[in-house]
Amino acid sequence: MAQLNDWPWRYWARLRPADTALTVGQEAVSWRQLRQRIDALAASFQRQGVTPGYGVVLCGKNDYPLLLAYLALLQCGARLLPLNPALPLRTREALLPALDIRFAVAPDGTPAEIGGLSVLDADAAGGGEPLDIGWQPQRLATLTLTSGSSGLPKAAAHSCAGHLASAEGVLQLMAFQPGDSWLLSLPLYHVSGQGIIWRWLAAGAQLVVRAGMPLAQALAGCSHASLVPTQLWRLLSQPQASLALKEVLLGGAMIPVSLTEQAEAKGIRCWCGYGLTEFASTVCAKRADAQPGVGLPLAGREIRLVDEEIWIRAASMALGYWRDGRLQPIGDAQGWFHSRDRGVMAQGELRIIGRLDNLFFSGGEGVQPEDVERVLAAHPQISQVFVVPVDDAEFGQRPAAVIEGDGALSLEALLLWAQDRLANFQRPVALWHLPEQLKSGGIKIARRQVQEWASRQW
Ligand code: 4YB
């Protein structure tokens, strides 16, 4: 990997100015052009008052203007918070005051009400050179909100060095060369999207930005993509999808072996990753095989299992959670982050069992919802499933299943199919189809919302 001694886009613009840095829609943008666009925008942001260390919210669809603003704000030394435009106003209002934010940038004008912040003009004609604050990879650069299962999201603070350390580990596993192109297939407000950006910048390869296009179409000509399992299921179900796609990095949720087998049969090389916001994306990964694990820690990461809880330490670890103007440590005294994920080592690799917080008891038996989900997810009519507890007078709680997939599947049929695969206490007592209203928002469906919804149906 390149030994960067400048902002990566300036480094590549110097080394290979005419090479394609990215494709926007169908149009190629060279590193020289990219650098010029970023310089102009950074100069404009500086004129509008952006100063190193200032908090700036970045909000909008995952398009080229958003990417330019992300890179230009980094170059201004801002403390950059990419925000999901679908985040409810209430959450945003509860969250932002503790994060010390001065400005907002919303290149496509969404959303109108950014909570009383002054909105910077992202179209402002540049002109002039930006003030050079210098490439200091160790300083705090981004705040990324966690999708915590309870309470308000936390803002994990990363430096550029942390993002690059994350990229480096992945690039030691997966080949990503200058001729290759990675689709920006996940949002920048999530680490999985930022992970794509930093691998691109670290490798000096190509990025493809195609917002608002169906995935199968957006993938045209791309060699790489990062997908959550449901995206890949949907893609495989479209028979016409002619794919140049060579490599897919999967992550964010349990990755069924049946999914990677189907994809590999279509010539897509799959990589199974386990990543977290606190670690700027991927921690463990492997080339998909017949085992349901996520491989071993990538270079620069260490894991420990303590009472089946996964503890992690890595160069890509967040500097802390940003709150009330300072960093709160995220590790213990030895620097270990306690993930609340349950895992075991099996056949020489890490296997994720589920979230410790998801465990519930039914008639005295512990139900780890993900154990049941793994079984049910193998049903051919199910593409995604959540098992959540519903109250029960006799058992305390019992499992219920909320599925995405074939609308005709009944509980009776499912139970019959799963007969030998589930213990009695694991057997769902109800089956519902995931309602549309729970599908909006981030890249993941919030289990807590599914559970609340299921309780209301029960
Ligand atoms: C898992 C899990 C797994 C995470 N099995 N539970 O670049 C990447 O690595 C990438 C590529 C494609 C899609 C996503 C990614 C990510 O970064 C995902 C990172 C992420 O999901 N971060 S998160 O903070 O939103 O959630 C972390 C939690 O997600 C973990 O603590 C686990 O509970 C869960 N998770 N990978 C099972 N393979």
Where exactly does CATH 3.30.300.30 map onto the chain?
A: 359-457
Question: What Cα–Cα distance (Å) separates residue 194 from each residue in 158, 163, 371, 393, 432?
Answer: 11, 8, 30, 46, 34
In this prediction, residue 112 carries a pLDDT of 54
CA dist., res. 378 & res. 355, Å (int) = 20
In this prediction, residue 151 carries a pLDDT of 77
Sequence-ordered list of residues with C-beta below 8 angstroms from that of 355, at least 6 positions apart, any chain: 149, 340, 341, 342, 370
- Looking at the CA of residue 276, tell me the nearest atom of ligand 1: 22
In this prediction, residue 411 carries a pLDDT of 95
Question: From ligand 1's centre to the CA of 26, what distance in Å?
Answer: 30
Question: From ligand 1's centre to the CA of 228, what distance in Å?
Answer: 8
Question: From ligand 1's centre to the CA of 275, what distance in Å?
Answer: 4
Take atom 5 of ligand 1 and give the residue whose Cα is closest: 254
Question: CATH classification of 172-356 is 3.40.50.10490, yes or no?
Answer: no
In this prediction, residue 111 carries a pLDDT of 60
In this prediction, residue 441 carries a pLDDT of 64
CATH of 8-135, one of 3.30.70.20, 3.40.630.30, 3.40.50.980, 3.30.200.20: 3.40.50.980
CA dist., res. 33 & res. 13, Å (int) = 8
**Angle at CA of residue 21, ends 20 and 22, nearest 5°:** 95
Where exactly does CATH 3.40.50.12780 map onto the chain?
A: 172-356
- Looking at the CA of residue 278, tell me the nearest atom of ligand 1: 24
Question: What Cα–Cα distance (Å) separates residue 51 from each residue in 45, 77, 78, 103, 122?
Answer: 9, 7, 7, 11, 16
Q: List, chain by chain if needed, residues with CB within 6 Å of any ligand 1 atom.
A: 146-147, 191-192, 195, 226-228, 249-255, 273-277, 281-282, 294, 339, 341, 352, 355
Question: From ligand 1's centre to the CA of 190, what distance in Å?
Answer: 10
CA dist., res. 255 & res. 98, Å (int) = 35
Take atom 23 of ligand 1 and give the residue whose Cα is closest: 276
**Top-tier CATH class for 359-457:** alpha beta
In this prediction, residue 106 carries a pLDDT of 92
Cβ atoms of 62 and 86 within 8 Å: the answer is: no
Where exactly does CATH 3.40.50.980 map onto the chain?
A: 8-135
Per the rule left: phi > 0, alpha: psi between -120 and 50, beta: everything else, 12 is alpha
Task: Give the number of other Cβ atoms within 10 Å of residue 371's Cβ.
Answer: 17
Question: From ligand 1's centre to the CA of 94, what distance in Å?
Answer: 25
Select from 186, 191, 373 the residue to mutate for testing ligand 1; criterion: most ligand atoms less than 8 Å from CB. Answer: 191
In this prediction, residue 152 carries a pLDDT of 86
Sequential pLDDT tens for the chain (458 residues): 778 999 999 999 999 999 999 999 999 999 999 999 999 999 999 999 999 999 999 999 999 999 999 999 999 999 999 999 988 888 888 899 999 999 999 988 766 556 678 899 988 676 678 999 999 999 999 999 997 666 789 999 999 999 999 999 999 999 999 999 999 999 999 999 999 999 999 999 999 999 999 999 999 999 999 999 999 998 998 876 657 789 999 999 999 999 999 999 999 999 999 999 999 999 999 999 999 999 999 999 999 999 999 999 999 999 999 999 999 999 999 999 999 999 999 999 999 999 999 999 999 999 999 999 999 999 989 989 999 999 999 999 999 999 998 888 999 999 999 999 999 999 999 999 999 988 866 788 989 999 999 999 99
Take atom 13 of ligand 1 and give the residue whose Cα is closest: 251
Residue type, 305: L
Sequence-ordered list of residues with C-beta below 8 angstroms from that of 195, at least 6 positions apart, any chain: 163, 166, 167, 170, 226, 275, 280, 281, 282
Select from 230, 281, 316, 448 the residue to mutate for testing ligand 1; criterion: most ligand atoms less than 8 Å from CB. Answer: 281
Select from 192, 277, 370, 447 the residue to mutate for testing ligand 1; criterion: most ligand atoms less than 8 Å from CB. Answer: 192
ipTM for the complex shown? 0.99
- Looking at the CA of residue 285, tell me the nearest atom of ligand 1: 9
Question: From ligand 1's centre to the CA of 343, what distance in Å?
Answer: 14
Task: Give the number of other Cβ atoms within 10 Å of residue 255's Cβ.
Answer: 24
Question: From ligand 1's centre to the CA of 78, what distance in Å?
Answer: 26
